[in-house]
Amino acid sequence: MGHSLPAPVSAIAWYNKRIIYGLLLDIAADTLRTIAADPRHLGARIGATLVLHTWGSALTHHPHVHGIVPGGGLSPDGERWIACRPGFFLPVRVLSRLFRRRFLEALAQAHRGGQLQFFGEYAELADPAVFARWLAPLRTCEWVVYARRPFAGPRAVLEYLSRYTHRVAISNQRLVAFDERGVTFRWKDYRAKGRTRYKTTTLEAGEFMRRFLLHVLPGGFHRIRHYGLLANPVRRASLAKVRELLHVAPEISPSPHDHVTETRPVFICRHCGAPMIVIDILARSAPIRAPPIPRDQT
């Protein structure tokens, strides 16, 4: 699943990252859970893992979330697994309408609570009347929500989580040159097709750094969040119940003390790409106590 913010909201998100990015994640998850719980659609309690991305391919500011959602959920009484229809999860148009309404309601509430800041050309939005007029067109424009085909099994999910979720705005592989003209990098134009999608752009060094720094998140902000059945407090119990209903035995993770017979490298150096050889595994030991204090010092 994917949820994106319209351009006007993205513009004020520059100055309100913690509030608006947090709303984007939480309301996207709440929308999925609400529509999934509706008996007219799925009628089940679902889980979701959402990942925040703030960039487009050319380092432009494009806040959106990607969601990994199991193809079904638990019945309201928790005693049945309810699977979605093959090739269909939830109606995208219904998700879009509810997401838009709830996000704008929360944004208006944040404004009333004095939680939003405005600068430069947006400074006048601090006035409640001006903000209300600015908000009105956003209630009728289309908000982008999309759904993709399901992953091809658990291994594909793990590969996505390990590779895609921890990307930054641009990787070293996309950097082509740095010279007197500036920084040259490759990017993908998703509006084009075929070979013309892949383009090269050169930005003055200061502009390149400005675009890159747009995507630095506030300190302590969690860009990967788990909701519903996958929320941290209930995940262990939820997954155990789902496995029981689906008659799937969990895979047993090997102990660190077990003899490792796997021949494939477990760790790959991100700098040179060579396999890292595990020489030994040091188990956690008891903490070292300080020496006792002599009696004449107590």
pLDDT, tens only, 241-268: 999 999 887 766 555 555 544 455 566 7
223: number of Cβ within 10 Å:
15
Mean pLDDT of 194-201: 84
41-44, long-range: CB within 8 Å, 24+ apart, which pairs? 41/90, 41/91, 41/94, 42/72, 42/73, 42/82, 42/84, 42/89, 42/90, 43/75, 43/76, 43/82, 44/72, 44/73, 44/74, 44/75, 44/76, 44/82
Q: Which burial class, exposed, middle or buried, applies to 170 when counting CB atoms under 10 A from its CB (0-12, 13-18, 19+)?
A: buried
Mean pLDDT of 75-85: 94
Contact 226, 83 (CB under 8 A): no
- Give the residue ranges of DSSP H helices in the chain: 7-13, 17-37, 92-112, 128-135, 154-163, 205-213, 235-246
pLDDT for position 183: 95
Tokens of 196: 């013309």
pLDDT for position 249: 79
pTM of the full predicted structure? Answer: 0.79
Q: What angle do CA 171, 174, 181 make, to 5 degrees?
A: 115
Answer whether residue 22 shows pLDDT above 90.
yes
pLDDT for position 260: 47
Question: What is the spatial distance between Cα 65 and Cα 3, in angstroms, rounded to a whole number?
Answer: 5
Q: Give bridge partners of residue 178 from the DSSP assignment.
A: 183
pLDDT, tens digit, 9 for 90 and up, residues 25-64 = 999 999 999 999 999 999 999 999 999 999 988 899 999 9
pLDDT for position 149: 75
Mean pLDDT of the chain: 86
Q: Give bridge partners of residue 225 from the DSSP assignment.
A: 50
Higher pLDDT: 191 or 203? It is 203
Contact 176, 200 (CB under 8 A): yes
Q: Give bridge partners of residue 182 from the DSSP assignment.
A: 179
pLDDT, tens digit, 9 for 90 and up, residues 204-228 = 999 999 999 999 999 999 999 999 9
DSSP 149-185: PPPSSHHHHHHHHHHTTT--SS-GGGEEEEETTEEEE
Helix, strand, or coil (residue 54): strand
Mean pLDDT of 224-247: 94
Question: What is the spatial distance between Cα 85 and Cα 159, in angstroms, rounded to a whole number?
Answer: 25
